[in-house]
Structure 1
Amino acid sequence: MSPSKRLFVFDFDWTLIDADSDYFVFEHLSAELSKIQLDSIGKVQWTDLQQRLLGKLFDRGVSREDIERTLANIPFVPERIEALKLMKEHGSDLYILSDANTVYIETILKAYNIDNLFTGILTNPASFDSKGRLNVTRYHGLDKEPHKCPLPCEPNLCKGLELQKLIDSHPWEQVIYMGDASNDFCPSTRLSRERGDLVLARRGLSLEQRIKERPELVRAETVYWQDAQDVLEVTKDIFFGRDRTAAALGSLSGSTAASSTTSLSTMVDSSSSSSSSSSSSSSIVASPVDEVKPSSTQVLSAVESFDSKMFAQAVKA
């Protein structure tokens, strides 16, 4: 493995896909169980809850084919796929680090023919039994000692611990972590400014709030993004540099394309830099979380708008 490789690590729900896979399955296959899922927030550990509800879903006659077909209908925005392919084409290693499960993630990736882009997937194990019942278990099982992370990680998965293992496995040129929710804060604290690492945080969700509450814990540069086009432009900036990206866009469609593009320099929160006391004219410091308004392409449901998946993950704390 080349020592110059970059490592990209992604959360999955509301990061790679614009949906929550746990919610999506029950919303589309059983309104009754979907309500139970929401009513159980804060009462049952989230992974254990999914295991129970999947059993009830099976008892109601929902088949493996029904689940796989539903998962294949979860949207995966083309610009994100283009960004992932660009990362892979430039020799990067891509990992998913998620509190979903292996069946959900692998089924969705295969539906879009992009499963071959990823080096590994770290998430809760899942499999169908011989009768077609889907079973999900904790990544960090009850048979193990608690990970005891003091940050907002869930008992079944400390993302920071798993990211650190990946970082320690190779002398990476750069590490980039992308997420949206509270349990993405811990891995964000494991990155290094000296190596030029980046945290790509989705605007308006709780990772942004956590970073702004404890900026001293996040040493890497933070870049805020809102939609798939933002992610694609940040990816181009990482590999081609801001000047080259702007020039390429300008040559394709003139000033219109250039003016509609958000480059890396305009998405960096300059307040995250210990060497900067104020933002420069080329930087936009993110607005307070309660002032961030999603675009028309990022309208979340009443539940998801609180914190994407992490609204439900209050049950995991």
Structure 2
Amino acid sequence: FFHAPPPEGPPKMSSSSTTNNSRFLMFFDFDETIISENSDNTVVNLLPNQQLPSWLLDSYREGHYHEFSGKITAYLADQGVTKDALLSAVQKIPPNPGMLDLFRFLQSHQQDFELVVVSDANTIFIETWLEHNRLGHLFRRVFTNPSHFDDSGRLVLHPFHSHSCPRCPDNMCKQAILHEYVAVREKERGGVGFQRVFYVGDGSNDVCPTRALGPQDTAFARRDYPMHTLMMEMQQSESTKIKANVVPWVTGADIEDYLGNIMKER
């Protein structure tokens, strides 16, 4: 159900003694949040004419983006885009402005922050990018769609889980992941919860998890992206549904400034 790194992988952010004492839990989306692009769009640019055929584009169904992503990777392989070309393109995706500084800030306060990625991308893209940018060790867990290269060099994607949430795509409800992770960690920490939970995202599928946040928590919504627009609409129409503070961000510096102020409160 959960994607865990192999046991022989790099050491995680901190030893169990400090992991269990983190005051804050922070979730990050990946595409257009940590990185400045959608990784699927990036790899499409590897095609000779840099676009998908209309029959493939027309096959997209609302709420089935994951299935569509699998068709993209199959098509790329059919067109001769190699595994190495794919990985190289993903490595070169720039981070969003200020994100690397934000991660330096979080690393300098790693006893206070436990970091998790929750993304509708896939394991190969996310792990490739994080390792290339030497950020993998900062994240305690990566929740995303499992993926692997088959013998022909095609990137095969699998759905993360199934769920009953009517608001989310078939393969992933980020609120279900958040709920379960928080419950598991609280148990592992001897019944001690986190003082605050932060969620950083940009897309429409980042709204559902923020419904689970409490008044002490914060949803960082990328300004003028779907998550921000939808949350602004929700706050006007159903103010009771979102209890968390909603903080729009343009660069990682906006998030760092906010967290810096919280660190001063102690």
What TM bracket, shorter-length normalisation? 0.7 to 0.9
8 Å contact 2:117–2:143 — kept in the other structure? yes
The whole-number CA distance in structure 2 between the counterparts of 1:183 and 1:32 is 26
1:137 equivalenced with 2:155 (yes/no): no
The whole-number CA distance in structure 2 between the counterparts of 1:76 and 1:199 is 20
The whole-number CA distance in structure 1 between the counterparts of 2:175 and 2:63 is 23
8 Å contact 1:87–1:235 — kept in the other structure? no
* Mapping for residues 109-188 of structure 1, pairs under 5 Å: 109-140=130-161, 144=162, 147-151=163-167, 153-169=168-184, 170=186, 171-188=193-210
Q: How many residues align?
A: 234
1:106 equivalenced with 2:143 (yes/no): no
1:88 equivalenced with 2:112 (yes/no): no
The whole-number CA distance in structure 1 between the counterparts of 2:232 and 2:139 is 31
Name the aligned partner's letter for residue 158 of structure 1: C
1:49 pairs, out of 65, 68, 76, with: 68
How far off is 1:44 after superposition?
8.6
Q: Secondary structure at the match of 1:109?
A: helix
How far off is 1:59 after superposition?
1.9
Aligned match of 1:192: 214
Query: Unaligned stretches of 5+ in structure 1?
Result: 245-317
1:16 equivalenced with 2:38 (yes/no): no
- Residue by residue over 1:234-282, the C-alpha shift from the partner in whole angstroms, topping out at 9 and shown as x without a partner, is 23223235xx9xxxxxxxxxxxxxxxxxxxxxxxxxxxxxxxxxxxxxx
8 Å contact 1:161–1:187 — kept in the other structure? yes
TM-score by length of 2: 0.80
8 Å contact 2:101–2:252 — kept in the other structure? no
Aligned match of 1:212: 232
8 Å contact 1:14–1:180 — kept in the other structure? yes
The whole-number CA distance in structure 2 between the counterparts of 1:122 and 1:84 is 18
TM-score by length of 1: 0.68
Q: Which has the larger radius of gyration?
A: 1
The whole-number CA distance in structure 1 between the counterparts of 2:208 and 2:143 is 15
* Higher-helix-fraction structure: 1
Aligned match of 1:235: 259
The whole-number CA distance in structure 1 between the counterparts of 2:145 and 2:77 is 19
Query: Unaligned stretches of 5+ in structure 2?
Result: 1-18, 187-192
Question: Identity of aligned pairs, percent?
Answer: 31
Q: Secondary structure at the match of 1:178?
A: strand
The whole-number CA distance in structure 2 between the counterparts of 1:206 and 1:44 is 15
Q: 1:110/1:218 Cα in 2 relative to 1: closer, same or farther (>3 Å)? A: same
The whole-number CA distance in structure 1 between the counterparts of 2:64 and 2:51 is 16
Once superposed, what is the RMSD of the aligned Cα atoms? Answer: 2.2
Aligned match of 2:6: none
The whole-number CA distance in structure 1 between the counterparts of 2:65 and 2:76 is 16
Q: Secondary structure at the match of 1:99?
A: strand
Q: Secondary structure at the match of 2:45?
A: helix
How far off is 1:122 after superposition?
0.5
8 Å contact 2:60–2:68 — kept in the other structure? no
Name the aligned partner's letter for residue 129 of structure 1: D
